């Protein structure tokens, strides 16, 4: 089992390109300079803003348009910062049993058995949601999944 405590730090330090002082983290990956009010975005801010403006979009396009690497986008999905919409044909997998989930790392069933072991650790952060629609047919792992922001 992977260490549930190893979370990536997305809130990196940002400095205002004009004033050179530390920018303040506002929300959803958006930073603001306390002096001149200039806004800047980290990778999550870029993805979130793109999805706000464009709606559900294939992950590859999001990556292309925002310049945020796929590996980072996958990490956002695993952390539940973004999700795959209900009507998608392709989902990510529960890391334990391999069932489809829309975001997170484990399906609700697996998190139950896992949380008995980890006792109150980060269950909320890693539990995903299964798509309600049952898929028919074989999984095609080369198919690209869509991304949506979390509601
Ligand atoms: Zn500034
Ligand atoms: Zn599972």
The DSSP H or E segment spanning 148 is strand 146-149
From the CA of 34, how far away is ligand 1's center (Å)?
Answer: 7
pLDDT above 70: percentage of residues in the chain: 77
pTM of the shown model: 0.72
CB 68 within 8 A of CB 46: yes
From the CA of 131, how far away is ligand 2's center (Å)?
Answer: 13
User: CA–CA separation, 113 vs 122, rounded Å?
Assistant: 14
Torsion of CA 52, 57, 63, 68, to 10 degrees: 20
CB 111 within 8 A of CB 1: no
From the CA of 44, how far away is ligand 2's center (Å)?
Answer: 26
Judged by its nearest atom, the ligand closest to the C-alpha of residue 126 is: 2
pLDDT for 70 = 94
From the CA of 106, how far away is ligand 2's center (Å)?
Answer: 5
Judged by its nearest atom, the ligand closest to the C-alpha of residue 104 is: 2
Confidence of residue 138 (pLDDT cuts 50, 70, 90): very low
Q: What is the pLDDT of residues 52-100, one digit of tens each?
A: 999 999 999 999 999 999 999 999 999 999 999 998 888 999 999 999 9
Judged by its nearest atom, the ligand closest to the C-alpha of residue 18 is: 1
CA distances from 59 to 27, 48, 63, 65 (A): 22, 12, 6, 10
Mean pLDDT within 130-138: 65
From the CA of 93, how far away is ligand 2's center (Å)?
Answer: 8
For residue 144, is pLDDT > 50? yes
From the CA of 96, how far away is ligand 2's center (Å)?
Answer: 5
pLDDT for 150 = 78
From the CA of 29, how far away is ligand 1's center (Å)?
Answer: 17
Q: Quick one: tokens of 17?
A: 């390109």
């Amino acid at each position: 089992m992977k260490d549930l405590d190893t979370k990536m730090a997305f809130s990196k330090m940002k400095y205002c390109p004009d004033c050179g002082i530390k920018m303040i983290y506002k929300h959803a990956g958006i930073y603001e300079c306390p002096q001149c009010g200039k806004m800047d975005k980290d990778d999550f801010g870029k993805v979130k803003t793109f999805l706000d403006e464009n709606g559900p979009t294939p992950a590859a396009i999001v990556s292309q348009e925002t310049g945020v690497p796929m590996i980072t986008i996958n990490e956002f999905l695993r952390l539940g910062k973004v999700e795959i919409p209900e009507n998608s044909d392709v989902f990510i997998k529960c890391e334990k049993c391999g069932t489809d989930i829309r975001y997170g790392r484990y399906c609700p069933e697996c998190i139950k058995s896992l949380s008995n072991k980890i006792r109150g650790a980060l269950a909320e952060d890693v539990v995903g949601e299964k798509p309600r629609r049952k898929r028919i047919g074989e999984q095609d792992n080369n198919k690209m999944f869509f991304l949506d922001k979390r509601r």
